[in-house]
Structure 1
Amino acid sequence: MTSKTGCGVTPPDREMAKVPPSGSEPPPAAPAVLLSEPLRKLPPMSMNGEYLRVTPDELARALKDPEWALDLAEEIQDAQEDNGTTAAEARHFTTHQTWNLLDFLLKRSVFPVDIVHGEELFDEADDWGYGPPRYLTADRVRLAADTLTQMTYDQLAQGVDHSEFAAAAIYPQIWDSPTSLDWAEDVFTPLTEFFQAAASDGHAMVIWLD
């Protein structure tokens, strides 16, 4: 499955915009959330954390028919690509290649929900990129949203040294400076907004690596 654009955050491979020829139309406005310099340096084609908000009925159907769920995910990603959808409005979100760093920081803080990999398995699902998807029930999404709302990225990263990432072999193993801690900051706030909106709508969450 090919990774698409996540709401509110432009992936690294789309940052390399070509200079328009003289007399051409000006480029479109920048997205609502801009990537920091460290995040723009991430490799454009790698393992990405992907999220899809689903209603309880959609989750029930997805569990019975994972192929339908994959088609739904691709349809929503295609519809959302490059349309400027905010995190609160979107049904798909991506953390790009920061998923493993987020996982490290969240586990270190004893976060109560696994929002990076998901918690429940799809019994019959095929590989969606790097293994089958998992999901969070609406109740777990609500708990995750409530907990995310009570923390900031600075609190999450407090006391962490970038050398710990290299020692733990955190993907994508590019932790060569103290600014490495900034690499997930760009996605943390919109990820929180995405979970808050899902919880407000009573949605569950499908999560996978692509």
Structure 2
Amino acid sequence: MADKTLVEFVKDSLEHGQSRAAIIEALTKAGWRRAEVDSALETYSDVDFPVAVPRPQPYLSAREAFFYLLFFILLGIVSFSLGSLLFALIEYGFPDRPADDDYRVFRLEAQVRSGISGLLVATPIFLWLGYILRGARQRNPQLQRSRIRKWLTYISLVIAGCTLVGDGISLVYNFLGGDLTTRFVLKSLVVAVIAGAIFTYFISDAEKGDKGDVDPA
């Protein structure tokens, strides 16, 4: 964020008819770094108007932070629960040994119960919260500039992207080692579908959000 004194100076200079090039030259000669000057200039739009016209700025509010943090936490719970449930079902269908021992059966039953419980509790709240946030953004486009939404969106993209890459590497590694079993392929497919769905959704959401921003002059 640009220095408040610098922003005020830029505002006064623009309103007194100074060009952006002249403002940059004066401030850099005074010792300000070019990046600081550019940041202050980007606060105001380069339009022909008697006074400096501010650009829409990203914002962060505690309320938005709470809702978006809860939304992304629930996304993690739903994704993990779904993956865990599907992994357990794959283990049931394709056991690693002909005869199942009691401990393995108990572990898989507990994994299935845990996955179902997570989905039954977290999914309705996740869908409801997503509906509320999407409706709020449609009614108020300013919410597209929420800093916390942008950060969490791109963090989710990084996690989903790394998961997809890791899944692909693991698949190729096992293929080259001759250990590409049906069970492993199905588990890799589960990871790819879940991570791919998250990545596809959020890359589209990020592009829509970025289109709502005003490009710097």
Higher relative contact order, chain-length normalized (CA < 8 Å, sep 6+): 1
TM interval, shorter chain, is: under 0.3
Question: TM-score, structure 2 length as denominator?
Answer: 0.24
More strand, by proportion: 1
